[in-house]
């Protein structure tokens, strides 16, 4: 998200801005929306396994992590660029409708390409990942159809500083999904396709809701050339795809490598990943508030404020990561046993939580690098991280879970190291 730039007079009259970081209007709503999204994922997995069993829920696990690799990977850059362009126009008192109109065909083109690729890959997906359920493949396409307008709507809300609506879109997605599967469970529905469909339809609830209240309205303005909306889209797309693939790669890799594994093995690993990733949702709320300010400080050349804000962010992120990892080690196994009735050992949960913590720190450094116009370096860093994941998963161990755990931790370390070096390079250039 982006925030309105201060006027020169404001910058001059507030030289100690770094000493206090106030929360923008709507931050609470964004935080609540992200909290609902995080908890809803946990609840969705619980209800789904109650209704379908852990073996029957396995195709949903595979679809979930594939979908949340593809949807943010391709459409989050569109959200980011729409938000950036609208915010810039807002500062110039220019309407942003031409920006939205320019980005819609690009999003549709990406969607069509993805649908074609999935159609080509559907025999493999159906047989090897979705346990023969072709309906899950169709729902995977529908998920992308739903998430494309959702990311576009989030970009409009963030660029227009409608942060309340932004939070509603996020929270409504999770809430609608949970309500939908709860109704299916109460009615005794045990169709895998029906549960997959709930994931596909839920993103549209918040988009339609805020749209009906006029929160997606943008005013007409000057034409938007491609150079205005796509200056860094290629590097953002590379980084977003690699980052989304990395954070969701664990269960998919277990499924691919565990050809002879029982379905519940993949489901249980997915449960562990969902649990270990809960701190990521808190981090996203922090990111939504603090990271855009790094871009503002960089744009004004306020490197002291930039360093101070980054330091505060890192302290918070590291603290959340340490607490999450310690919590996974201390209470993770009994919690998962209680909630999902599955045995995941302490090592697996601790390493998954550690990988999430390292990933959060890597994201903070990556965003700081992007704030200093290091889009290419950020994209390359995420690509290196994903490449290292593939290598480590292929050759690190013969133990199915351990090789994926090592790959997740090692790849996050590689990405983090890359971003630290990139940020140092950009800081020297700006000094």
Domain boundaries, the chain: 25-231, 237-431
Which pLDDT score is estimated for 22?
A: 47
Which pLDDT score is estimated for 24?
A: 45
393 pLDDT exceeds 60?
yes
Confidence of residue 286 (pLDDT cuts 50, 70, 90): low
391 pLDDT exceeds 90?
yes
Which pLDDT score is estimated for 250?
A: 94
Region 120-126 average pLDDT = 96
Summarised one tens digit per residue, pLDDT across range 291-302 is: 666 777 877 788
Which pLDDT score is estimated for 152?
A: 96
Confidence of residue 178 (pLDDT cuts 50, 70, 90): very high
8 pLDDT exceeds 70?
no
Region 140-169 average pLDDT = 92
| Listed range (80-89, 119-128, 386-395, 399-408) with the worst mean pLDDT | 80-89
71 pLDDT exceeds 70?
yes
Which pLDDT score is estimated for 11?
A: 36
Full-model pTM? 0.87
Summarised one tens digit per residue, pLDDT across range 11-32 is: 333 434 333 444 445 557 777 8
How many CB atoms sit inside 10 A of residue 70's CB? 22
Contacts made by residues 391-395, CB under 8 angstroms, sequence distance 24+: 393/249, 393/253, 393/257
Confidence of residue 285 (pLDDT cuts 50, 70, 90): low
Region 263-284 average pLDDT = 87
Distance CA 277, CA 284 (A): 11
Confidence of residue 287 (pLDDT cuts 50, 70, 90): low
């Amino acid at each position: 998200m982006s925030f309105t730039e201060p006027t020169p007079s404001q910058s001059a009259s507030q030289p100690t801005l770094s000493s206090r970081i106030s929360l923008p209007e709507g931050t609470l709503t964004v935080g609540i929306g992200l909290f609902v999204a995080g908890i809803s994922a946990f609840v969705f997995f619980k209800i789904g396994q109650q209704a379908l069993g852990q073996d029957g829920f396995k195709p949903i696990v595979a679809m979930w992590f594939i979908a949340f690799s593809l949807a943010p990977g391709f459409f989050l850059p569109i959200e980011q660029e729409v938000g950036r362009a609208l915010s810039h126009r807002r500062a110039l008192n220019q309407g942003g409708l031409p920006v939205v109109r320019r980005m819609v065909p690009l999003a549709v083109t990406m969607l069509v390409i993805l649908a074609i690729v999935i159609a080509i890959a559907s025999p493999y997906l159906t047989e090897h990942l979705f346990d023969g359920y072709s309906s899950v493949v169709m729902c995977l396409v529908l998920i992308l159809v739903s998430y494309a307008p959702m990311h576009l709507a989030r970009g409009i809300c963030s660029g227009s500083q409608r942060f309340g609506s932004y939070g509603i879109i996020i929270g409504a997605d999770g809430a609608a999904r949970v309500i939908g599967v709860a109704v299916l469970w109460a009615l005794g529905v045990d169709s895998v396709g029906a549960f997959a469909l709930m994931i596909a339809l839920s993103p549209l609830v918040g988009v339609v809701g805020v749209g009906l209240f006029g929160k997606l309205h943008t005013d007409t303005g000057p034409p938007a050339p491609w150079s205005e909306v796509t200056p860094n889209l290629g590097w953002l797309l590379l980084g977003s795809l690699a980052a989304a693939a990395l954070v969701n790669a664990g269960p998919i890799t277990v499924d691919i490598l565990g050809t002879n594994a029982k379905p519940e093995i993949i489901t249980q690993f997915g449960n562990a990943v969902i649990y270990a990733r809960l701190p990521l949702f808190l981090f996203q709320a922090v990111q939504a508030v603090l990271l855009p300010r790094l871009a503002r400080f960089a744009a004004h050349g306020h490197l002291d404020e930039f360093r101070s804000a980054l330091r505060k962010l890192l302290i918070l992120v590291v603290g959340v990561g340490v607490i999450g990892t310690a919590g996974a080690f201390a209470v993770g196994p009994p919690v998962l046993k209680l909630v999902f009735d599955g045995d995941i050992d302490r090592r697996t949960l601790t390493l998954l939580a550690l990988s999430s913590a390292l990933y959060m720190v890597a994201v903070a450094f990556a965003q700081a690098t992007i704030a200093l116009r290091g889009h290419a370096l950020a994209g390359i860093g995420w690509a290196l991280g994903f490449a290292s994941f593939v290598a480590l998963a292929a050759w690190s161990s013969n133990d199915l879970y351990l090789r994926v755990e090592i790959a997740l931790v090692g790849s996050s370390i590689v990405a983090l190291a890359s971003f630290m070096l990139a940020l140092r390079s950009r800081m020297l250039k700006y000094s």
